[in-house]
Structure 1
Amino acid sequence: MVKENHEKRKIALLFICLGNICRSPAAHAIMQRDVEEAGVSDRFLIDSAGIGPWHVGDLPDRRMRQHGARRGLDISHIARQFNAKADFRAFDRIVVMDEDNYLAITSKAMSEADREKVIRLSDYLLDHPGAHSVPDPYYGNGTDFELALDLIEDGCRHLLAAIIEQEDGIAVD
């Protein structure tokens, strides 16, 4: 007797920003929360990384952790640097926060298939149609961190819905 495998494959998402201490660890935490709330955390592998090495081994920026905690988020990912060879192989989608991130990561692609994995979170900012990126709040104030979190929550919510719709053929609101 043959047993059918109804398990869905894991979808691996990697969020990228410049240093992996503000936007990408926040996106990591937000998407993790969203997949748990949707009951699909067993189908996702979520991580984040930075383009540069400046903060490798560090916790996220204190201000991002504080603003995230006010929203019930545990933003505690330890910063790491993007590794083109390993990360293009391991992840299905590499989600960048702005156009500079997009250019930096696509320039490291070793094939067209790698390049196609790189997507912009801004393409999923459906509740903020005027936004074309998730601005880096690092040199800003609390308002900048709140805006980044608002945009990331918007983008992650709609990205998750798009992935589920694509994988399962089921539209999610």
Structure 2
Amino acid sequence: MVKVLFVCLGNICRSPMAEAIFRKKVAEAGLEKDFVIDSAGTGDWHIGNRPHDGTLKILKDNKVDSENMLARQVKKEDLKQFDYIIAMDAENLGNLNRMKGYGESGEINRLLDYIPESKVVDVPDPYFTGNFEEVYELVEEACKQLLTHIKKHKL
């Protein structure tokens, strides 16, 4: 099993969007039995909440399932249990690297690292920008590239 965890700040916009999109891509590839996919936030403000209305709308508009998703906070154990810990931006990446300390952890990267030609390095936070369409397009392409990367290196 390949375990993938998407991480943003509050786990209501970017990381649940990435989780849902990646789940869809994995299902379309017929690989559901080979993956565990989840998302979490570095902050605790939204624990137990559904994704942001903007995230839910853009996912629905693109026929991506978002059922049964609730925000949670990333835990130190997650860093040992997941093979790929995917941060949405440099701040999340820094927080994750500080959390991991000297213990073993999965591969920690930013999501847009999987789009080599991308001029954008951080997924913008639509909670502040309101631009859920831009975020969806970036996340959708990066998830496609991430799945290609994992199939090449892990499956």
TM-score interval for Structure 1 and Structure 2 normalised by the shorter chain: over 0.9
Taking the aligned partners of 1:89 and 1:132, their CA distance within structure 2 comes to 25
Aligned to 1:38: 29
Structure 2's unaligned 5+ residue stretches are none
**TM-score, scaled relative to structure 2:** 0.94
Alignment of 1:75 with 2:94, yes or no, is no
Q: 2:47 aligns with which of 53, 56, 66?
A: 56
Structure 1's unaligned 5+ residue stretches are 1-9, 169-173
Taking the aligned partners of 1:156 and 1:136, their CA distance within structure 2 comes to 17
Taking the aligned partners of 1:87 and 1:26, their CA distance within structure 2 comes to 19
**TM-score, scaled relative to structure 1:** 0.85
Q: 2:98 aligns with which of 104, 107, 126?
A: 107
Aligned to 1:122: 112
Larger Rg: 1
Question: Could you tell me whether the CA contact under 8 Å between 2:5 and 2:82 is conserved in 1?
Answer: yes
Alignment of 1:23 with 2:14, yes or no, is yes
Taking the aligned partners of 1:136 and 1:65, their CA distance within structure 2 comes to 15
Question: Could you tell me whether the CA contact under 8 Å between 2:4 and 2:38 is conserved in 1?
Answer: yes
The percentage of counterpart residues that share the same residue type is 37
Shift of 1:68: 1.2
User: Which residue identity does 2:70 align to in structure 1?
Assistant: I
Say which structure, 1 or 2, has more relative contact order (CA 8 Å, 6+ apart).
2
Taking the aligned partners of 2:151 and 2:112, their CA distance within structure 1 comes to 18
RMSD of aligned residue pairs (Cα, Å): 1.3
Q: 2:126 aligns with which of 137, 148, 152?
A: 137
